[in-house]
């Protein structure tokens, strides 16, 4: 008869049954080709040095700047271009900090 054995629940295979799972597409390991990186790398040089700059989450930060500076990024760039050393107090890392002259940003 089609009853359930003691210790088993309906729909649960017993120890002697083999469970086979089939998918239409087997799972693939993620590779960098599956999704483009959110980071950009820019290379440039002058007569004395080669530079490689990695821009992390470029599109996300562009959207953030557009939200903060609805009139454009010129004010942001202008602020960053004029900085002074800033003596931060209370930290133990020994890192150097700079502050924009218009007191808007800390770097």
**Pairwise CA distance, residues 86 & 59, whole Å:** 29
- What average pLDDT does the segment 91-101 reach? 85
**Pairwise CA distance, residues 88 & 96, whole Å:** 8
Average model confidence (pLDDT) for the chain?
Answer: 77
Cα 13 from chain centroid?
Answer: 42
**Pairwise CA distance, residues 76 & 107, whole Å:** 13
- What average pLDDT does the segment 13-33 reach? 49
Number of H helices and number of E strands within the chain? 2, 4
Higher local confidence (pLDDT), 92 or 59: 59
Percent of the chain with pLDDT over 90: 40
Query: For 37-72, what is each residue's pLDDT tens digit?
Result: 999 999 999 999 999 999 999 999 999 989 988 888
Higher local confidence (pLDDT), 84 or 3: 84
Q: What is the DSSP letter of 41?
A: E
pTM over 0.85: no
- What average pLDDT does the segment 85-103 reach? 84
């Amino acid at each position: 008869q089609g009853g359930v054995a003691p210790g088993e629940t309906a729909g649960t295979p017993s120890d002697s049954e083999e469970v086979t799972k089939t998918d239409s597409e087997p799972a693939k390991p993620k590779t960098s080709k599956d999704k483009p990186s959110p980071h950009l790398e820019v290379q440039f040089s002058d007569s004395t040095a080669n530079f490689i700059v990695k821009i992390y989450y470029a599109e996300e930060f562009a959207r953030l700047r557009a939200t903060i500076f609805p009139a454009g990024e010129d004010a942001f760039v202008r602020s960053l271009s004029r900085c002074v050393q800033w003596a931060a107090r209370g930290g133990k890392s020994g890192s150097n900090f700079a502050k924009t002259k218009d007191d808007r940003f800390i770097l």
